[in-house]
Structure 1
Amino acid sequence: MEKIKIKGIILVLLLVLGILGLNTKYQKYRNEKNNEKLLKENKKELEAKIENVISEREERRKEIQSDYEQIQIITGKLGLLSMKNESEFKKMIYVFTRESGLKMNEISKSEKLWERNGYKLKYIHFTLYGSLNNFGKFLYFLNKSRKFIDTSRMYIDLTGEGFKISLGFIEKGKIGVKN
């Protein structure tokens, strides 16, 4: 009888240990399933974040490309409107003076106001002689010029002997590339 009790106790103990072992394995299985589920959710979130980053980068690249194209257009226009050198500007003003019936007496040295990206804004002072009507023609020619003539800092000094006028132009220089 004692052998049967001992066998029964051992059998119950084995059964309890088996159930505990199965329970432990089941818990590990459930943990692995939960971890797998979390990893799948995290993967979806990360893929969505990656897609957002890619789309933001593409959008930014398009903005930069658009800005670059606009800068190229502006630089092209500036190149068309600017002068190659100071003597070209002086020749143009001299032609305007002759066409309007004025006479040029004096040309000052140029004054550089600013320099950016290979372009320089310079001003030159001219002393002209002639009638007020001819001076009006001269101003008309300046206004209709195909090249850019800056008048933002222009001054006109009208005297009994003539006219003093300061005009600006943009000189195209060498564009240096910075490394």
Structure 2
Amino acid sequence: MDAAEIESPKKRKIVETAYHLFKTRGFYATGVDLIMQTASVSKRTLYKYFPTKNELIVSVLNYYRAAYADYFNQILAQQDKSSRQKILNIFEDAEQWFEDINFHGCLAVNAMGEFSGKDRAIEDSCIRFKQWEIDMLTMLTRDITSRQSEELAYKLFVLLEGMSAIAQVAKGKCPVNMTAMADEMIKKYL
């Protein structure tokens, strides 16, 4: 869900508010009353745009993916950098993000953890997000190696996801240089 898809300022406010609350508090721990209060909207307004909390969660996950896509597109637009350097930039940025005190893990992974087997629309949104990430990495790895580009993309994806999970638990600087690990992985495919 990009800016164009949120046609109403109130709807945007609800989605952005819910995004920040879900990110810091979790999905089950964040009730609609807190979302309404924080967004300064009435129950009627909230339910006008989102008849159920789960529909709001799907919209928030789409918003999260769109924000990440905007970031990713900025990296892809860097004409002066090779695909290898773009991948390493992603890892450098991820390392900084993972060390941030406000890092609470990937919202899609957190949603899957809370809703797996409980809500198909939320699961599908999470799956689409992760497939999109893999597709973006595959697009970059195709420029590095025409053979085994998908294998390299999946390995890089696993490294990112693993480090994200470790960062969420460890809450601090990772003792391993994740960018160097990604570079070593890439070198094996050159």
Q: Which has the higher strand share?
A: 1
Q: Which has the higher helix share?
A: 2
With the shorter chain as reference, the TM-score category is under 0.3
Flag the structure with more relative contact order, 1 or 2, with Cα contacts below 8 A and sequence separation at least 6: 2
Indicate the structure (1 or 2) with the bigger Cα radius of gyration. 1
- TM-score between the two structures when normalised by the length of structure 1: 0.20
